[in-house]
């Protein structure tokens, strides 16, 4: 066996979890990502999806994707930089810029590639990338590729952020990058204070709205709109793989920034363009988000109902105030075992263990969609209480 294989063979955690009957990943679904899905031939309530709008099975979105394939084919066979730009790409970019309140927008093939390609190339060797310690992995990978100095601040801690800003040379670029809604624990960034500090220290602000769009703000425009700081946030990132019920991502900002990114962002220049079907699906989803505010209203009704239910149950749910509800277990083995037991009870949830969170912060991630019913949430609360009691998580 070669050295690489010998080294990697020492990684046995998945095999150990499988042997213990608690391996929780790659559970094959044989139906749509609806509130109910089919796994191993049986119906299961889905509380692990990121599609907060619940649009992934909407007939108008399916029709738009099918029509795009009929007109444009299944792929672009090249990057946007060369032969991969379609008229529908440009049309969607214009709509997204207007939607989030920016001058211009660029579409990438995935949300991960947005953060990777933007954070890695905007700042130079003498500049700074300042990031929240619980930012998404794509932001962390982007700052790793950047030649800039990397400064981490404590999670949502504005005193820690200011201390990092004070370390920076006044005449150098300072890019503050934060999630709007943090994807694992569901809490919301303190954007008003981040913006205030950015003004004080002449910093640039980038907000990842992957989990904010479709949830916060008028017409689901995100946390920047919710807090009224859109004009003060320089770059707004979004993904199509969640509320937009598609695949891809975008960055919205002024034209000076997009002009630079279009000619320097490697994950944009050297990756094939988003497919016609994904583009049309995201565009149709945007139509629905803007025209059906009742979806967002229902999502918040369910969120508040579930939050109250988990608090009354005695669950530890941290600082969440969103449809992402962390149920802290604080033990890897128990987290996997509870995930298995809940699936047996007909409830699909996601386990979150290190390195996604610290080892002592392992949790079950429970997330809601606008297409869930109150009865389905009630059933989930009852099943979770049963399983949690069996594992001595709640009284």
Name the residues annotated as catalytic.
183, 211, 242
Q: Smallest Cα–Cα separation from 367: which of 242, 208, 258?
A: 242
Q: Which two tokens stand for residue 306?
A: 């579930």
DSSP class of residue 232 equals G
Cβ contact 389:338 at 8 Å: no
Residues 6+ apart with CB under 8 A from 66: 277
Cβ contact 118:111 at 8 Å: no
CA distance 288 to 56: 12
CA distance 259 to 104: 10
- CA contacts within 13 A on the Cβ side of 356: 15
Cβ contact 90:81 at 8 Å: no
236 DSSP β-pair partners? 207, 252
CA distance 163 to 198: 12
Q: Smallest Cα–Cα separation from 175: which of 212, 208, 217, 211?
A: 208
- The DSSP bridge pattern shows strands 324-328 and 204-208 to be unpaired
Q: Specify whether the backbone of 186 is left (phi greater than 0), alpha (psi in -120 to 50) or beta.
A: left
Cβ contact 364:339 at 8 Å: yes
324 to 179, 216, 321: CA distances (angstroms)? 14, 13, 8
CA distance 89 to 84: 9
CA distance 340 to 205: 41
């Amino acid at each position: 066996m070669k050295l690489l294989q010998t080294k990697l063979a020492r990684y046995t955690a998945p095999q150990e979890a499988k042997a213990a009957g608690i391996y929780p990943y790659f559970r094959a679904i044989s139906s749509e990502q609806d509130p109910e899905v089919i796994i191993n031939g049986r119906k299961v309530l889905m509380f692990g999806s990121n599609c907060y709008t619940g649009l992934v099975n909407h007939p108008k979105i399916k029709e738009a994707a099918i029509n795009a394939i009929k007109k444009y084919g299944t792929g672009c066979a090249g990057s946007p930089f060369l032969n991969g730009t379609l008229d529908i790409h440009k049309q969607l970019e214009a709509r997204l810029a207007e939607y989030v309140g920016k001058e211009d927008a660029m579409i990438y093939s995935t949300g991960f590639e947005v953060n990777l390609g933007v954070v890695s190339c905007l700042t130079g060797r003498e500049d700074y990338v300042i990031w929240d310690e619980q930012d998404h992995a794509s932001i962390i990978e982007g700052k790793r590729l950047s030649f800039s100095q990397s400064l981490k601040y404590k999670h949502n801690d504005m005193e820690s952020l200011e201390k990092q800003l004070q370390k920076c040379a006044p005449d150098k670029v300072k890019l503050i990058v934060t999630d709007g809604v943090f994807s694992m624990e569901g809490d919301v960034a303190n954007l008003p204070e981040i913006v205030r500090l950015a003004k004080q220290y002449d910093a640039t602000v980038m907000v990842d709205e992957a989990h904010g769009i479709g949830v916060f703000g008028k017409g689901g425009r995100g946390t920047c709109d919710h807090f009224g700081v859109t004009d003060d946030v320089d770059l707004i990132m979004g993904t199509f793989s969640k509320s937009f019920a598609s695949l891809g991502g975008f960055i919205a900002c002024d034209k000076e920034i997009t002009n630079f990114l279009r000619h320097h962002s490697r994950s944009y220049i050297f990756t094939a363009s988003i497919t016609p079907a994904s583009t049309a699906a995201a565009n149709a989803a945007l139509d629905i988000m803007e025209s059906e505010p009742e979806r967002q209203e229902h999502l918040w009704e369910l969120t508040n109902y579930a939050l109250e239910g988990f608090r009354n149950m005695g669950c530890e749910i941290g600082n969440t105030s969103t449809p992402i509800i962390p149920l802290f277990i604080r033990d890897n083995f128990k987290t996997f075992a509870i995930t298995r037991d809940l699936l047996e009870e007909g409830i699909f949830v996601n386990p979150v263990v290190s390195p996604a969170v610290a080892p002592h912060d392992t949790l079950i991630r429970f997330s809601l969609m606008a297409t869930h019913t109150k009865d389905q949430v009630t059933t989930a609360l009852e099943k979770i209480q049963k399983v949690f009691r069996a594992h001595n998580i709640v009284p």
